[in-house]
Structure 1
């Protein structure tokens, strides 16, 4: 589906539409222990934010941003292969909730706000429809 990107594409290890399966597949196949996961519908996330998140690592399974002191973004995160046992346990129970993964894994949640130069109100905006796209095209 995404071969046009020139990136290697892997089918999910298990049939599902749950994002946790994609994370699981990539962690299993990755040649590095630490991996950045970013949903393709977040065009305003920048490399400075991701680099800062990486710099905060202290041996966690997962590092995620939180904005407005309440919204955690599990599809914009740093995932370590050390999270695989927790992910496998959840999948084995047919529990595909990313929120449960965040709760059960060793997770560092980083509060991000306007005091960080790489953040603004649109950083985590999702673009899923033509209307969303039209709304952001005026920014």
Structure 2
């Protein structure tokens, strides 16, 4: 069993961006590769969670689509699928649309979680809002996530709160800035983030 598995969510339809964000580029790398890069130093492996439509465009490797029961049911379905397919103690979740996030941010989150004895999910909070998809989850919560999905819960924010999740203020982490948390939904947001 691995200690930590990184999970990159890269299956969104990117309607507001106009094309799949996973394959937009920043500094010569695809967005999804930027998320992989942030996770790799801190995990034993990284898996990509995507859609059936996008799966053929990723390189061979651990590229998963949601299990059939939860196909197309959002990010928590993606996380649950990865948790069921990989044996690991912790799952570090990142979306594919945070191209400015660095490995140092993940490292700071891991240290904070350990130092504060947090045994439930933790997620970054900054710019006045919670970012539940920049988060660390526990394998022991796999069945609880499934139970919430069975109840019709699809909101990552509400699943996080249901599991007693703890928010990590970005300002409490060394070197973490608002730019790291820039979530790119539109080309304008990407341009603004690049200027920070």
TM-score range, shorter chain: 0.7 to 0.9
Matches within 5 A, 1:32-47: 32-47=88-103
Runs of 4+ deviating beyond 2 Å: 1-7, 115-118, 128-139
Q: 1:122 to 1:7 in 2, by over 3 A?
A: farther
Higher relative contact order (CA 8 A, sep 6+): 1
In structure 1, the gaps of 5 or more residues are none
In structure 2, the gaps of 5 or more residues are 1-53
The question of whether the paired residues in 2 share the 8 Å contact of 1:39 and 1:75 is answered with: yes
With normalisation by structure 1, the TM-score equals 0.84
Flag the structure with higher strand content: 2
- Map of 1:30 onto structure 2: 86
- How well do the aligned residues superpose, as a CA RMSD in angstroms? 2.1
Displacement of 1:129 after TM fit?
2.7
Displacement of 1:5 after TM fit?
4.5
Displacement of 1:79 after TM fit?
1.2
CA distance in 2, matches of 1:7, 1:129: 29
1:133 aligns with 2:187: no
CA distance in 1, matches of 2:139, 2:90: 7
With normalisation by structure 2, the TM-score equals 0.62
Instruction: Count how many residue pairs are aligned between Structure 1 and Structure 2.
Output: 137
Q: 1:111 to 1:133 in 2, by over 3 A?
A: closer
Residue number among 109, 118, 139 corresponding to 2:167 in the alignment: 109
Secondary structure of residue in 2 paired with 1:74:
strand
1:96 aligns with 2:154: yes
Residue number among 103, 125, 132 corresponding to 1:66 in the alignment: 125
Flag the structure with higher helix content: 2
- Map of 1:86 onto structure 2: 144
CA distance in 2, matches of 1:77, 1:5: 25
- Map of 2:15 onto structure 1: none
